[in-house]
Structure 1
Amino acid sequence: MPSSASLHRVTTPSLHLAYEEHGPANAEPVILLHGFPYDVRAYDEIAPPLAERGYRVIVPYLRGYGPTRFVSEQIMRSGQQAALARDLLELMDALHLPQATLAGYDWGGRAACIVAALWPQRVKGLMSADGYNIQDIPGACEPRAPETEHRLWYQYYFNTQRGVDGLTANRRAFCELLWRQWSPTWNQGPQCYGLSAPSFDNPDFVEVVIHSYRHRFGYVPGDPSLESIEQALQAQPPIQVPTIALCGADDGVGPATEPDPDIGLFSGPYQRRILPGVGHNLPQEAPQATLDALLELLQNA
């Protein structure tokens, strides 16, 4: 943990949610959200400079990661996109934050995009890695180009019992492989991985991950309490809040392409920036570009 951070926990209806906090408690809030398989260490070079500029910076551990825990055994260990978004809303409610600037990538970017799309009054600005990050679950089973299908091998693996057993037995080695494949030109990846890997020892990690990758293809049901959110997301609602999308040109999951495939899904102020030499772990690989985008949103939104 950076010396400027302090670890906190807040109880929401679903989680004892752990988060690191930087900066003054009464300042304008910024929430930074990590993805799979990463954790709060992705923002170690971004949160302190934001705090030094006078912002309150909140970096939560998502469900299934690090010290975050479910409040009871009865709560479904869902990893679906609506669960991530509701967790973010409930965190904001628990901290009495009527509005915040959001940044996220991968799972965290999905949560941020959903809240921005469905609850725009809660979002001052959005920094989203890879643009519009809301899943189109009804269309998820349509075949894609073979090269794209090849990059998604891990998603299909997780839809087998062998995948469950493999992630359970080899979670650290498995996640390290994804780091290498998804950020092929990032030289600091191997030394940074060891700082995040302990977060994957969370007792709910495997169950949450497996559910996430099965639900997005419609192969397992979601949490019934989240169905109204999932129904709203089927319409692929546009995002109207000020947004800067950062995309890694070397992203091993989905390298950025031109023209912008997401431009029609943003109805408010929107910019897209492709970052050469950057892979999937965007804030950790390109902290200065991420910080610059956030400061631009904070100062202009």
Structure 2
Amino acid sequence: MNTPALTYVYAVTQPTGDLAAALPALHGIGRAALRLLASAAPAGTSADGSGQLAFVAADVPERDFNETALKRHFEDLEWLEYVARAHHDVVQAVAAHAAVLPLRMATVYQDDHRARRALTAQHEAFARRLDQLRAQTEYGVKIYTKPATATATGRPPADEPAEDISPGKAYLRARKAQHHTREAVYEQAQHAARTIEAIAARHTTQRVRHAPQRGALTAGQENLLNDAYLVPDDQAEEFRAAITDAARQFPGLHIEVTGPWAPYSFATPPPEPAAAQSSPDGPPSGTQPP
């Protein structure tokens, strides 16, 4: 007896010969085979299919991806990590062979017919955004500093006898030293952020500011800046080199460039002024890369 399945879609892309050749070797969640679900050809699509869009899709078990199951799974960090990683791997693999618009993790449809219908309905919005992202790649820039540590011990200066300082005075001295150290690091981070913004103005087309990361993702460091940039492919090497060079000016910070990523942070266009905003029927938002 076959297990009931839903259609899981990973991304929007444009079918190419290169992608068609690579697809049989790629797999999705649960090692499921990937397939392209093409939209109905819109008016103006050329005979060779250019301008046509497709969902990158695969089957997933209905028992794990129906609405009730997803609510339960979203509280299971191990399951979430696996699905997020598998989703990311598919999007990155497709991006190596064709322009790609990542979709939100766990975007599912009842079947291929309904997925195609949704793709056709949003064809114009998807095509417009895909064109805006073409030949551009996402890079992340993060600024870290370690939290204040006990570098200031509260010990008296060398010329002050140790017995002349009380425990309370030592504690207050240590707290004051830590406060000054932390302020100096934050000032340096602000300077670094301004330097990065100046570099980005020369080499990037869009920026998304994500919330600083917390917990295990920071490996014991404090994340002060967590930005994503959309970088034209012909500017990528210069952008990375410029950030790496600038980082040497800030020895008290760890400045990290991540990527290249598929454009997760730019799957939806930047917000427009309130009076000019379009309907909410545009592409689903992407997810931030790991």
TM-score (norm 1): 0.25
TM-score (norm 2): 0.25
